Amino acid sequence: MTKNIGNTERVIRIIAGLAILSLILFLEGNARWWGLVGLIPITTAIFGYCPPYAMLGINTCSKKEAAPPR
């Protein structure tokens, strides 16, 4: 499993995931459990891998520069 999420996107996913997860605190009744959806972007950010990106061939990691020849 190679990483396909860049650092900037990882930070954005963590922030968005925490915002969605906070719905557990603000909503009432059964609607509050929708906040658990926030675990998905947090998990993908931690592992740096997004399965839908892999299926679609998307990679937001920065490409490393090739080492100069010796």
> What's the pTM?
0.82
Calpha distance 26→69 (Å, rounded): 57
User: In a structure prediction context, what are the per-residue pLDDT tens digits for the chain, which is 70 residues long?
Assistant: 889 999 999 999 999 999 999 999 999 999 999 999 999 999 999 999 999 999 999 999 887 644 456 6
What DSSP assignment string belongs to 15-69?
HHHHHHHTHHHH--GGGGGGGGGGHHHHHHHHHT--HHHHHHT---SPPPPPPPP
